[in-house]
Chain A
Amino acid sequence: MWLFLVTEVMLFGGLFVAYIIFRNLYPEMYHEAHHHLNKVMGAINTIVLIFSSWTMATAVGMAQRNEPKKSFRYMAVTIVCACVFLVIKFFEYEHKFHEGLLPGGYFDAAKNGLTHPKADLFFSLYFMMTGLHGLHVLVGMSLIVWVMWRTKRGDFNSHYYTPVEMSGLYWHLVDLIWIYLFPLLYLIG
């Protein structure tokens, strides 16, 4: 799984490279554009995701300690958090659509008043990065649901809980990516 996480780092890394390059080319544009992102929603999402990482780590801990029922419950909380994250994201996206803050060719400056000619780039990156991240949230959720099902079936004990741990690692990576996405997109301009 660690090897697979390496590939995920490289995959997202490409997007971060693009972000860094364009940021260095157009710093004022980033500054102007990022104000159109809702910091509060972003911060709440950050806290939700960190909390879900905590519950997932605890779920793994419970599996290690031969407590499948508790493990199951902590994983369930993790899933709830993930859903909350996605719902908030949905509202953010909806808001963007209304403001015409869309990628590239669909960017509508008339609706949002951003005058920089390259402003659409910021939102292209925003949607690509958060979109790919959201996709990974969904994948992570499916993994956790699968592991929850296996837990209920009694597949795991303190000698064998590898799938729980592996899904946990994947989930933590999803959190890790968000830990960088949040300041880069929402906070710094």
Chain B
Amino acid sequence: MLMVKADIIYTVSGDPINNGMMLVDDRGKIEDIGVDLTVSENCEVLDISDKVIIPGLIDAHTHVGMWGDGEGRDSYDGNEYLRPITGEVRAIDGVNPMQVSFEGAREGGITTVQILPGSGNPIGGLGFACKTWGKVIDDMIIKDPTGLKGAMGENPKRTHGKGFGHTPISRMGVASMIRDYFEQAKEYGKKKNLANQKGEIFDLDLNLESGWMALERKIPFRIHAHRHDDILTAVRICEEFGLDYSIEHCTDGHLIGDHLGSKKITAMVGPGLSPSTKVETANFTDANPALLAEKGVNVCLITDHPFLNCRYFLTYGAVAHKYGFPFDETLRAMTLNPAKAIGIEERVGSLERGKDADFVVLSGKPFKYKSVIESTFIEGKQVWKRDII
């Protein structure tokens, strides 16, 4: 048992608790949280009464462990990009949990990540969610799969049309391939169901199996879309097929905020602090999270690591807050919102009884430059501590 005493505990699910206490059981779950809790005799005490605690941050769109940070091309495993449709590949098979980016995540106060395939392919493969500490990825999983990755716009065009000279060459081509994929998956699913009903042998197709999972709404379709028209095409296709979905990046979302707000879509907004390196990101603004949330969009902040180094996730939150994203909403967009969007909120995303004791110790209130991340805990265990250089 571990009793943590802090100056303020931001639970996210409820009001901040001043002089807060949190009791962590031996399985790493929060047994109790509040004020004036009783400390039993054999309970270890972590007295950080001058510190602030927030829930472990959740980054819902990353490529942690699969982008070859500091390792060069030999460790690039995020895109199986020779073919445009690769529903059968799984992010989990390309992730190296001992890669430096996982430590970067812990340094940044991130305790849970969703890891998705890259955006080179219109249909990119399956993503999953895991904790950021461990040696064996299978032991770190919270949920697998958590979504099917898709991509609109420049990346699939550049990878395939420009890179290999095959379809998709245009935005029309990208959309038509995604449509065709789901049509095939629909046919496949019907045949599979029929075969199951009749008790007949049925050969699985792993590529279409992923699409069928999305069509059955067991997993959402998570579509990379920056430009406003790409976002609208993505929404159009998802509505045609009745999919659950999230818009990944949503860079131009602020230009069509009313439309997206009316649909209450979920947007994974980021990478934050980004340069406009592509034509499709020309309208990037730091105010996007605030502008989208104002219109009723369900916003999660993302680093898209490595595109914003996940070490600086909390600073992204500070900048979103600077441009009008209210304090509470900003913190929620880095914790509870992504937990819900990934479907893992029963375990993580806020500090509540029964949830995992994943938390970050700050020297002061979040989003201030004098408030530094001092240590990160996953399931009650310290997984990173700041050393003085």
A and B associate in one complex = no
